[in-house]
Amino acid sequence: NADISMDVVDLFHEMVDAEDASPEDLVVIVEVLLELDAPAVLMQHMSRLSDASEEEAACIHATLSIFESLLEAQPECSTNLAQRDGVMAWLLNRIKVRGFHANKLYAAELLSMLLCNNPSNQSKLGQLEGILSLLTSASQYKRRDPSDLEEAELIENTFSCLRLTLSLPENQLRFLKAEGIELMILTLKERKYASLCALSVLDASLRNNGANCERFVDIRGFKTIFPLIGSSPPPLPAFSKGKKEREAAQLSFDEYVASLLTTLFQLLSDDRRMRLLGKLAEDEM
């Protein structure tokens, strides 16, 4: 019975999210859920639900919250949760769907948690063609700003997931083949909210990767990156125009530009390196 199964999910959610529960009690609850393979059962149940139904969407949100509680209580369960239980594949499918939804935001947040400091999950994402899924999601914000703070968080989490996966050379190669460098440059040119995020991803994609640096040069990346030296990031949306936010954005912007140029100097050779030096000399005149 669908109603009963969703009630069970709500019960599990209340158990792991109880505000008055002690940390010790929570650990015991989490251990029992993991021993009983509850994540796999919850994942199978969630895969039959749809955000189109308000009740089912609420159940999906509760399930994602349970997964988050499991990760917070026992970070070592991250690999099994992502791979064996199939959570990562579901998250990737949810993230690439067009339009904003609270569960899409939650999916991006949870995916970021699964990828953080976990090379195995980062590798698995690449095998699942997750780079393409994330690029599909990122491309939706190439030419438009978020409408509110939650949508801004979705953008940041999506690009953060990309950046985390690019710590692996195999994923940098997948990013190259999926024309991720081209998408990041196009996003930078639009100077929308996502452009700062795109700069961070571009920096990660070039790091320690000569082939990606060469592609960057060959698609006229200099024309995009050099005007950014000493300039300001795109203006923040009306809902996040505080002084601290502006200062943090400027600092990150400058750091990513400097890091990207440093990488190019380190890894480019021969003709491409001469083009880089020539561009610098041209800008100083």
Domain ranges of the chain: 1-73, 93-284
Q: Is 21 helix (H, G, I), strand (E, B) or coil?
A: coil
State the average pLDDT over residues 207-233.
Answer: 94
Give residue 1's pLDDT: 74
The tokens describing 35, both together, are 């021993």
Tell me what percent of the residues of the chain surpass a pLDDT of 90. Answer: 82
The per-residue pLDDT for range 208-219, each reduced to its tens digit, is 999 999 999 999
Q: Residue type for 103, please? A: N
**Neighbour-count burial of 226, counting CB atoms closer than 10 A to its CB (0-12 exposed, 13-18 middle, 19+ buried):** middle
Rounded CA-CA distance 262/203 in Å is 10
Alpha-helix residue ranges (DSSP H) falling in the chain: 2-16, 23-35, 38-46, 54-73, 78-79, 87-95, 102-115, 119-127, 130-139, 149-165, 169-177, 180-190, 194-206, 210-218, 222-225, 243-267, 270-284
Say whether pLDDT at 230 is over 80: yes
Give residue 221's pLDDT: 94
Residue 235 main-chain phi, psi, to 5 deg: -60, 140
Give residue 285's pLDDT: 44
Contact assessment for residue 110 and residue 64, using Cβ atoms and an 8 Å cutoff: yes
DSSP string, 39-87: HHHHHHHHTT--TTSHHHHHHHHHHHHHHHHHHHH-GGGHHIIIIIS-H
Give residue 20's pLDDT: 67
Give residue 246's pLDDT: 85
The tokens describing 163, both together, are 């950046």
Give residue 97's pLDDT: 92
**Which residues have a Cβ under 8 Å from the Cβ of 168 and sit 6 or more positions away?**
119, 122, 123, 126
Contact assessment for residue 47 and residue 21, using Cβ atoms and an 8 Å cutoff: no
**pTM for the whole thing?**
0.93
Rounded CA-CA distance 278/73 in Å is 54
Say whether pLDDT at 25 is over 90: no
Give residue 241's pLDDT: 64
Tell me what percent of the residues of the chain surpass a pLDDT of 70. Answer: 98
The tokens describing 75, both together, are 């970070």
Give residue 119's pLDDT: 98
Give residue 217's pLDDT: 96
CATH architecture of 93-284: Alpha Horseshoe (1.25)
User: Which DSSP symbol is given to 233?
Assistant: P
Least confident segment among 8-17, 25-34, 138-147, 233-242: 233-242
Say whether pLDDT at 21 is over 80: no
Give residue 284's pLDDT: 59
First to last CA, the chain: 74
The per-residue pLDDT for range 59-109, each reduced to its tens digit, is 999 999 999 999 999 999 999 999 999 999 999 999 999 999 999 999 999
Rounded CA-CA distance 22/18 in Å is 9
Q: Residue type for 258, please? A: A
**Average pLDDT score, the chain:** 93
The per-residue pLDDT for range 143-202, each reduced to its tens digit, is 999 999 999 999 999 999 999 999 999 999 999 999 999 999 999 999 999 999 999 999
Give residue 26's pLDDT: 86
